[in-house]
Amino acid sequence: MKRRNGFGATALLAAMTFSTECLAADIEHQTDYSIALAGLPLARATFHTELVKNRYTISGTLNSAGLIDIISRTSGQTRVSGVIANDHLRASQYSMSYRSGRKSRAISVTFRNGNVVRASMTPKRTPLPKNWVPVTSRDMRNVLDPLSGLIIPGKSRVCPNTLPIFDGESRLDIRLSPKGTRSFKTRGFNGEVIVCGVRFVPKAGYRKGREDVEYLRRLETMEIWFAKAEAVDVYAPVYVRIPTKLGPVTVSATRFGG
C-alpha cells in the first residue's frame, strides 16, 4: 500500500485504525480491524488501549494481507500516550513507523497542551516539490494526533465535530456530521452505533493540486461509525467506508473490547 504525502486513503485509515503490556493497567481494551478494497483483503490491524487513572496508552500493529502482501509486504507500528481531557484525548508523545517493500519511514511527535513542540520524520522528504504547502507553526497549535484523535470521551459530542489532525508531516481537518444511528455486531459488541459523515480538509504538508488529495477533498460520501466502549467510557471507530474509483475501502472491527 502506498502512502501518498500523508493525505492518501492510507493516512486517513491510519487516523481511524494501529501490544504492549502494562503491569499497573487499571483498564484494558483491544480492537482488531480488517481492511479491504471492494471486499478483497488489504490489511489487518490490532490496537491495545490501557488506562491508568487519567493517563492512556494506545499501541498497535498493521500488516498487509491478501494480494497486497504478495506484491509488496507492508507492516507498521504505532504508539501514543497522553492524558484524557474533557473533550479529547490529549497526546504527549506519538510515534509511527512503517515498511512497504524496500521503503520505510519513521515519525515521532511530541505534544504539550495540544501544541506540537517537536516533530521528526526519517527519511525526510527532500527536495520538497514547488507545489508543496508548508506546515507553519500556527498549523501545529491545538492539534490532535491521528491515532487517539478519533477516540472521543463518552461525555463529549461525537458528531458534529471537527478534529484537527497533525500526523508528523501533514495537517488536516476531519469534519464529522451526524447521519443517525445503525446496528452493528462484532466480537465483543452488539448494539447501536453513531454514524457520522466525513469530510476531509487538507490544510498543510501536502502537494497542492495532487489528484488523490483533491479526490478526497471533494468526496462527500465517506462514513465512520462510532461504538461506545463502556469499560473505558469512550467512543471509538468500528466501521469506516471510503469510496474509491476501484471500489470502497472499508475498515471493519472484527473485535471490540476484551
How do the domains of the chain map onto residue ranges? 9-256
Confidence (pLDDT) at 258: 63
CA angle 152, 56, 111 (to 5 degrees): 85
In angstroms, the CA 83 to CA 92 distance is 8
Confidence (pLDDT) at 2: 40
Confidence (pLDDT) at 61: 96
Helical pair 211-218 and 9-17, crossing angle rounded to 10 deg: 60
Within the chain, strands assigned E span 27-37, 40-52, 55-64, 74-84, 89-100, 103-112, 115-122, 132-133, 152-153, 161-166, 171-186, 189-204, 206-207, 222-229, 234-242, 249-256
Confidence (pLDDT) at 231: 82
Confidence (pLDDT) at 68: 67
DSSP state of 168: S
Confidence (pLDDT) at 69: 66
Do residues 121 and 96 touch, judged by C-beta distance below 8 A? no
Do residues 98 and 11 touch, judged by C-beta distance below 8 A? no
Confidence (pLDDT) at 11: 45
Over the chain (258 residues), the average pLDDT of each successive run of 10 is 42 44 60 94 93 91 80 89 89 95 94 96 90 96 95 92 95 97 97 97 95 93 95 91 93 91
In the numeric block, the cell 465517506 is attached to 222
Q: Which amino acid is at 71?
A: I
In the numeric block, the cell 471510503 is attached to 242
In angstroms, the CA 113 to CA 15 distance is 20
